[in-house]
Amino acid sequence: MIGILAGMGPKSTGPFVDTVVAKCQTIYGAKHDMAFPHMMIYSCPTPFYMDRPIDHEAMKKAIIEGAQKLESTGVEFIAMPCNTAHLYFEELQHSLSIPILNIVDETLQTIPENIKRVTLLATEATIQAGIYQDGIAKRNIEYIHNEQWQESINQIITCIKGGEIEEARKLWSVLVVQLKAEVDTAIIACTDLNVVADEDFVDSAQCLADAVVEMYLSNKKKHL
């Protein structure tokens, strides 16, 4: 059984589960209901606020408790469709006896080789933590950070969290034009953005969903 520790933010849960289901169809041709995996989805609200600094201890505690609760249901591994939550990945993995897929590693692996300039579309916390930048540098890719773009992303995420989806879409459309003029691709490193994003960027949610289905199939083979 697949464990999905979601709810960070709440609006990202549905699109991620839909993505996993779609990947089952494209990766191994799932058609009938019984061909799809058993999933335990736990929507775990966390003390994250766009307008104030993160209380890291409170965040870590909420995420670890959520993951342990999910593990207790008998899942074989956990996927966490939230990039910011990966700030605590090492401690989280140490608190469990089952593996957690790493959204950052899965995403960095899929950046096309011809990419020379990239930007990150993420929360301030994810950007400041630097969890992506090292991997980008190792691939000899230039990382472009633009404060104006970051302000737009902050506004878009705030709108999505507040249910102002049309406003978020308008802001997103303007931002995409700017991005396409300046970088080869962008990494969508905030799963809330999947509510409005449909461009051909490197999407962390898609990358994690691929890894979920691959691990599910690998585990299934072991049980045969």
Is 190 annotated in the active site? Answer: yes
Contact 172, 156 (CB under 8 A): yes
Residue of 44, 82, 159, 207 with catalytic role: 82
Contact 71, 49 (CB under 8 A): no
Please state, in angstroms and rounded to a whole number, the distance separating the CA atoms of residues 58 and 66.
Answer: 12
Is 159 annotated in the active site? Answer: no
User: Distances in Å between the alpha carbon of 168 and those of 13, 25, 38, 135, 162?
Assistant: 18, 30, 33, 29, 10
Residue of 24, 44, 159, 190 with catalytic role: 190
Helix 165-182 crosses helix 147-161 at what angle (to 10 degrees)?
A: 160
Contact 89, 105 (CB under 8 A): no
Helix, strand or coil, per DSSP, at residue 162: coil
Residues that are catalytic:
82, 190
